[in-house]
Structure 1
Amino acid sequence: MMNFKTGLLSLLVFCGACSQVAQKEDIVKDSFDFAGQQLKFAFTTIDSVRVKQIEAGSKKKLVSPRTIDDDGSFKMVASKDWTSGFFPGELWYMYEYTKDDYWKSKAQEFTANIEDQKTNGGTHDMGFKMYCSFGNGYRLTQNTAYKNILLESATTLITRYKPTIGCIRSWDHSRDKWQCPVIIDNMMNLELLYWAFKETGDSVYYDIATNHARTTIKNHFRDDYSSYHVIDYDTINGEVLHKHTHQGYNHESAWGRGQAWGLYGYTMCYRETKLPEFLTQAENIADYIFTNPTLPDDMVTYWDFNAPNIPNEPRDASAAAVMACALYELSMYNVEKATQYKQWADTIINNLSKNYRAPLNGNYGFILLHSTGAHNFERDAPLVYADYYFLEALLKKEKLEKEGTAIL
């Protein structure tokens, strides 16, 4: 009898320990709990910055966090900055996960701050700014005002389309260097156009997005499916003038986040069009990334696959988070590789969660550390878009495991 009781007690203790381990391994819940605490801490930092602005008599309106500068200071940006939509997007993701109206209210507050960008025809980053903020807001609330803002944003974006080239122009700066630069990042802004097509039935949005994606396949990618960062086109005849990698190690290197933009972009394009060429492109990019000899074991990529001092080079958690988002969705479209794609994504998310998080109530409320903006700025720093895509990947992971779809 004593042995039975002892055995039963041991079994109960063991089961309790198993339960605790299982609870600890709920990475999605743990990460969102942590993110909630960090974002609340970020609000206090944001408030203090605004108070200092008022005291200094500054008229510049700073709306969203971006990073921590080299001098250790907290950097916020105005609505025109390409990163201004990510922080409100994070707040919408917090609302989506928690269903707590506190986060809805905060998301609405920060989203409203960038409405003025809906008519900013001087930027190609309309998707990053408006779809990550108003787009998530509309998806979660069906607010008609948000829908109208998004449609106006899409209409503004297509004014940058160059029919002779078949692409949406990216930057307007550095005209002494490029005639019509198109960057791989621009693939991410096409989702806004596909959304506008579905909402309006106007094929102009679909055609521009699809033409841009096809032209990018033709000119941005090397034979091994790595991509250049910037393709410069002749504005008269549409011919390629230069192939550059502006934010990577050198022009022939594979900039880490550039590869991530391509992977996510073509996965999304396949979802929206069901054109096999886009699925094939996404799969080939995935193969390049995840069979690359310089990809570290934790699958959190270095800032450039060809950086000269690997393994003593900065990582880019933002690129890894974007890759994970894409992989969760890509696993839906290829039965044979589904398990492999999800395992790669899970490896990234597990490692970001365990080894790349900021200290609680530290680093001004950013969630992840160790991202890299480019070869000469924001090296090994927190970046707001790393946090945004980390939360998106967590939501996609949970939805895929519970519902069989990673589409939010």
Structure 2
Amino acid sequence: MKSSVIGLGLALLAQQALGQVALPKKTVKLAETQAALLLQQTAQVAQQKPAAPGKPALVSPRTLSPSGELVLVPSRDWTSGFFPGYLWLLSEATGQPKWQEAARTYTANIEAEKTNATTHDMGFKVYCSFGQGYRLTQDAAYREVILQAARTLSTRFNPKVGTLRSWDHHRETWGFPVIIDNMLNLELLFAATRLSGDSSFYKIAVSHANTTMRNHFRPDFSTYHVVDYDTLTGQVVKKTTHQGFANESAWARGQGWALYGYTMCYRETKNKAYLAQAENVARYILNHPNLPADLIPYWDFNAPSIPNEPRDASAGAVIASALYELSTYSPTNSALYRRKADKMMSSLTRHYTAKPGGSHGFLLLHSTGSKPANSEVDVPLIYADYYFLEALLRQRQMRAGKSEAGS
């Protein structure tokens, strides 16, 4: 095992020296090496730090602490579904049963969230885990979890506003906040309609997407992070940020959520307005003067000290994955989107991946969680790994000649 890891490391270094794009097979091998370590580290930490009485169990890895220790989170954390989802993607990438077995184990830890009505993050938690699992196994039990989660998420829909409520906290700041991240949770609702025939889920998702498209975007198609609504009138109260540099700045991962979200909405509805919106967001991102040459964005496109600002590899991974899918729909920019996504993946592979056996098993380095809160800055983040591996699979599918790059 040690010699193979060393050999892999030398191969990756040789690729970098020659300036070559890393081959997907070698990147998948690196992902396997890291996942095996992350599984081991997660089991050890969970054993050493059992949940305190009355506290939820720690079930999923999220990041590393400032001191370099592995951070585990309970199922209620918005990131909890990414690790089981990552394992499902790894099982798809390799065809090895051991990864599916691990994915099933960690997916089971998330099931309790299917009735948690206090969060909008049902898609991130349940669809990235159970949704990926159902796609790959057609397990009827997974289908039922998806449907229950969609029913629970639907309770957060306000017909007057026309959207799902995002946060229940920060009530002193926002009355009915909707964040751009919430676009990703709509995939769960679209799936529920496909699985059940109940169009109510679809209608909620479309209403949320339309209201967000109307109110979240500036004329240049950059997106606000948070839009607050009046539930009596349905009107916008204010447009602000929570994780960006300023209310009028373009938080990088938020732009990625917008691009990914409207690309996915076009896949699910074939509404050309969503395709146009996704292409407009892509144009904003790709043509921005502050986008670095390697195409991995700074944490905010308008951060004040660029180029001396942290990068966000998670935003790069989300954007790359979205661009691959968008390239399969665009009538005029397909080649451009593929070329840009390829460059992003090359940059991430060559300059943002951990050394084999390093970083407690995380794959990507240099992500930024919340710069304004000085939280999770320049660290690995599990959702960066998830979207990077998803993008890798989409890239591989496209190179194999498959026309669809969607989930």
TM-score of Structure 1 vs Structure 2, range by shorter chain: over 0.9
Equivalent position of 2:162 in the other structure: 166
Q: Is residue 276 of structure 1 aligned with residue 268 of structure 2?
A: no
Seq. identity, %: 53
Q: Is residue 193 of structure 1 aligned with residue 192 of structure 2?
A: no
1:313 aligns with one of 284, 309, 312? 309
Equivalent position of 2:300 in the other structure: 304
Q: Is the 8 A contact 2:51 2:58 kept in 1?
A: no
Equivalent position of 1:80 in the other structure: 76
Q: Is residue 389 of structure 1 aligned with residue 387 of structure 2?
A: yes
Equivalent position of 1:6 in the other structure: none
Separation (CA, whole Å) in 2 of partners of 1:256 and 1:173:
23
1:67 aligns with one of 63, 66, 78? 63
Give the stretch that moved more between structures: 293-302 or 70-79. Answer: 70-79
User: What is the DSSP-based 3-state SS (H/G/I as helix, E as strand, rest coil) of the residue aligned with 2:307?
Assistant: coil
Equivalent position of 2:27 in the other structure: 31
1:243 aligns with one of 208, 225, 239? 239
Separation (CA, whole Å) in 2 of partners of 1:54 and 1:116:
18
Report the AA paired with residue 326 of structure 1: A
Superposed CA RMSD in Å reads 1.6
Separation (CA, whole Å) in 2 of partners of 1:48 and 1:248:
35
Q: Is the 8 A contact 1:27 1:353 kept in 2?
A: no
- Aligned pair in 2 of structure 1 residues 54, 131: CA closer, same or farther (>3 Å)? closer
State the Cα deviation string for residues 188-246 of structure 1 (Å, max 9, x = none): 00001011111112111111000100000111000100000000001111111110111
State the Cα deviation string for residues 124-158 of structure 1 (Å, max 9, x = none): 00000000000000000000000000000001000
- Aligned pair in 2 of structure 1 residues 110, 339: CA closer, same or farther (>3 Å)? same
- TM-score normalised to the size of structure 2? 0.93
Equivalent position of 1:17 in the other structure: none
Q: Is the 8 A contact 1:27 1:350 kept in 2?
A: no
Equivalent position of 2:406 in the other structure: 407
Separation (CA, whole Å) in 1 of partners of 2:34 and 2:138:
28
Separation (CA, whole Å) in 2 of partners of 1:187 and 1:303:
19
User: What is the DSSP-based 3-state SS (H/G/I as helix, E as strand, rest coil) of the residue aligned with 1:243?
Assistant: strand
- Aligned pair in 2 of structure 1 residues 55, 342: CA closer, same or farther (>3 Å)? closer
- Aligned pair in 2 of structure 1 residues 151, 57: CA closer, same or farther (>3 Å)? closer
User: What is the DSSP-based 3-state SS (H/G/I as helix, E as strand, rest coil) of the residue aligned with 1:223?
Assistant: coil
Q: Is residue 363 of structure 1 aligned with residue 362 of structure 2?
A: no
Q: Is residue 53 of structure 1 aligned with residue 49 of structure 2?
A: yes
Report the AA paired with residue 404 of structure 2: T
Separation (CA, whole Å) in 2 of partners of 1:316 and 1:92:
24
Separation (CA, whole Å) in 1 of partners of 2:54 and 2:139:
33
User: What is the DSSP-based 3-state SS (H/G/I as helix, E as strand, rest coil) of the residue aligned with 1:380?
Assistant: strand
The Cα shift of 1:58 comes to 8.6
Equivalent position of 1:329 in the other structure: 325
Separation (CA, whole Å) in 2 of partners of 1:54 and 1:249:
37
Equivalent position of 1:8 in the other structure: none
Give the stretch that moved more between structures: 151-160 or 375-384. Answer: 375-384
Q: Is the 8 A contact 2:364 2:380 kept in 1?
A: yes
Separation (CA, whole Å) in 1 of partners of 2:169 and 2:406:
35
Q: Is residue 343 of structure 1 aligned with residue 342 of structure 2?
A: no
Report the AA paired with residue 394 of structure 2: K
Give the stretch that moved more between structures: 84-93 or 68-77. Answer: 68-77
User: What is the DSSP-based 3-state SS (H/G/I as helix, E as strand, rest coil) of the residue aligned with 2:306?
Assistant: coil
- Aligned pair in 2 of structure 1 residues 206, 362: CA closer, same or farther (>3 Å)? same
Equivalent position of 2:377 in the other structure: 379
Separation (CA, whole Å) in 2 of partners of 1:406 and 1:166:
30
1:398 aligns with one of 396, 399, 406? 396
State the Cα deviation string for residues 11-46 of structure 1 (Å, max 9, x = none): xxxxxxxxx989x75521111100111111112211
1:103 aligns with one of 99, 102, 109? 99
2:117 aligns with one of 110, 113, 121? 121
The Cα shift of 1:47 comes to 1.8
User: What is the DSSP-based 3-state SS (H/G/I as helix, E as strand, rest coil) of the residue aligned with 1:173?
Assistant: coil
State the Cα deviation string for residues 154-196 of structure 1 (Å, max 9, x = none): 0100000000000000000011111000000000000010111
Equivalent position of 2:7 in the other structure: none
The Cα shift of 1:56 comes to 7.8
User: What is the DSSP-based 3-state SS (H/G/I as helix, E as strand, rest coil) of the residue aligned with 1:176?
Assistant: coil
The Cα shift of 1:335 comes to 3.1
Q: Is the 8 A contact 2:51 2:57 kept in 1?
A: no
Q: Is the 8 A contact 1:184 1:262 kept in 2?
A: yes
Separation (CA, whole Å) in 1 of partners of 2:47 and 2:241:
40
Q: Is the 8 A contact 2:22 2:346 kept in 1?
A: no
Separation (CA, whole Å) in 1 of partners of 2:353 and 2:80:
22
2:174 aligns with one of 171, 174, 178? 178
User: What is the DSSP-based 3-state SS (H/G/I as helix, E as strand, rest coil) of the residue aligned with 2:369?
Assistant: coil
Separation (CA, whole Å) in 2 of partners of 1:334 and 1:350:
22
Separation (CA, whole Å) in 2 of partners of 1:194 and 1:286:
23
Separation (CA, whole Å) in 1 of partners of 2:348 and 2:50:
37
Q: Is the 8 A contact 1:371 1:382 kept in 2?
A: yes
Equivalent position of 1:209 in the other structure: 205
- Aligned pair in 2 of structure 1 residues 101, 227: CA closer, same or farther (>3 Å)? same
Report the AA paired with residue 145 of structure 1: A
